Structure 1
Amino acid sequence: MSAGKKGDCFKNAGSNVYKKIMQEWRILENNLPESIFVRVYEGRIDLLRAVIIGAQGTPYHDGLFFFDFAFPSDYPNNPPLVHYHSHGLELNPNLYDNGYVCLSLLNTWSAEETEMWNPTGSTVLQALVSLQALVLNEKPYYNEPGYEEPSSGDWDLDSAEYNGEVFGLSCKTMMFLIDNPPKNFEAFVKDHFCERANVILAACRAYIEGRARVGYYDGSPSSPCTVDVSREFKGTMEALYPNLEVAFNRNAASKSA
């Protein structure tokens, strides 16, 4: 099949690919969780951009994580290609610093057949929810192949340390997004960080001072210091904090200008 004919399937309203993508749009419109937002393009229906807001109770809380989807010309026989906006940072075993997304539902990781892409049943919505729930989760350390979560022990300490590293990388991602918001999401990024800046900064202080475990800041300003904080994490966050504060202030100033 020529390249031209491959492209025709995205413009021909009668093609199976076109109809399937329109069905995907309807599913997303009616079923997206409140913490996932999607932008589609009428002129390029083969492309889609999504952002996931990091969930509370995870080291990704309040962060923004962008993914680009590209539908293949034989969709849905094969899953969409997905690229993560990593900004050169690797904050999850499933999200590489080159943007590669490792997920069985996308056929980018080997798994049982029931976990792989199913042309008759799998959807973009399922992929997005999987990214939010299975990848950007509470203990991403155990996403690493061969790392199984124990009931207790030293590996829990490793997981906690990894969460600290992840939160620091998430903060760096926030700063990058403020200065370089993805196209068509400029206002979204600005508004999100204007709304959540104070909470994020308060969480940073709580984590530095050991008043909350990373990911579990509950907004309380007077929690006792009961969490052991590594010297490395404390040093990293104390260096990041003023830069993050400046970025948030700059973002707020640009919104009110």
Structure 2
Amino acid sequence: MAVLITKPAFNQFDVVSNHSDHHFSCVEKQGKGKNNNIGDEDCFTNIGSTIYKTIMREWKILEKDLPDTIYVRVYDTRIDLLRAVIIGAAGTPYHDGLFFFDIKFPPDYPKHPPKVHYRSHGLCLNPNLGAGGHVCLSILNTWIGWRYERWNPAQSTILQVLVSIQALVLNEKPY
């Protein structure tokens, strides 16, 4: 008699609490309200703040529209942080590799793009992914690029960032 062992599903979009190993975990999370004044409430915990609502919209987009090869973990205690795992595409030198990125929303998001740190473990596998974790990409404003390729506060999303990393960086011939 064969015994069928089932493994628990790994959620493509998951909300967890422990962010202790996140690259930006130690970074000050304080983002003040619309005026960035000392007396304003924290924009990442005030559910009425524009930034809080914007990040929640981003979460919904990610939960609904992630490609099969991108996994995201967000943190209920730090909505300004998220971690993405991108699986390298077939036909590239990155085929089936797991690439981890720690992301931090700035307190004035979406006016400025999120900060993205590649968990390189000291290895430089790509000219756009530095050994120190720097990600060089136009949509992050870390590469010159054409104006239409750069971060656009009215249109750009974290999903675009993740898909851009996968398509433009983790490809056979990265720029």
TM-score bucket (shorter structure):
0.7 to 0.9
Counterpart in the other structure of 1:43: 77
For residues 153-199 of structure 1, the C-alpha deviation after alignment (integer angstroms, 9 at most, x for no partner) is xxxxxxxxxxxxxxxxxxxxxxxxxxxxxxxxxxxxxxxxxxxxxxx
What RMSD over aligned residues (CA atoms) do the two structures have, in Å?
Answer: 1.3
Greater CA radius of gyration, 1 or 2?
1
Cα offset for 1:2?
5.2
Q: Which amino acid aligns with 1:55?
A: A
The structure-2 alpha-carbon separation of the partners of 1:108 and 1:3, relative to structure 1 and needing over 3 Å to count, comes to: farther
Query: What TM-score, normalized to structure 1?
Result: 0.53
Question: Per residue, is there more helix in 1 or in 2?
Answer: 1
| Aligned counterpart for 2:171 among listed residues 129, 134, 137 | 137
Cα offset for 1:3?
6.6
How do 1:1-257 and structure 2 match up within 5 A? 1=36, 5=40, 8-140=42-174, 143=175
CA distance in 2, matches of 1:37, 1:97: 22
The structure-2 alpha-carbon separation of the partners of 1:92 and 1:30, relative to structure 1 and needing over 3 Å to count, comes to: same
Question: Per residue, is there more strand in 1 or in 2?
Answer: 2
CA distance in 1, matches of 2:102, 2:108: 18
Cα offset for 1:125?
0.3
CA distance in 1, matches of 2:132, 2:83: 17
CA distance in 2, matches of 1:80, 1:53: 21
Comparing both chains, which one has the higher relative contact order based on Cα–Cα distances under 8 Å and sequence gaps of 6 or more?
2
Percent identity of equivalent pairs: 68
Q: Which amino acid aligns with 1:82?
A: V
Counterpart in the other structure of 1:246: none
Query: What TM-score, normalized to structure 2?
Result: 0.77
Cα offset for 1:46?
0.2
The structure-2 alpha-carbon separation of the partners of 1:101 and 1:3, relative to structure 1 and needing over 3 Å to count, comes to: farther
CA distance in 1, matches of 2:38, 2:80: 14
Cα offset for 1:4?
7.6
For residues 48-89 of structure 1, the C-alpha deviation after alignment (integer angstroms, 9 at most, x for no partner) is 000000111000001100001100000000000000000100
Aligned residues: 140
CA distance in 2, matches of 1:124, 1:24: 7
CA distance in 2, matches of 1:116, 1:61: 27
Q: Which 5+ residue runs of structure 2 have no aligned equivalent? A: 1-35
CA distance in 1, matches of 2:132, 2:39: 29
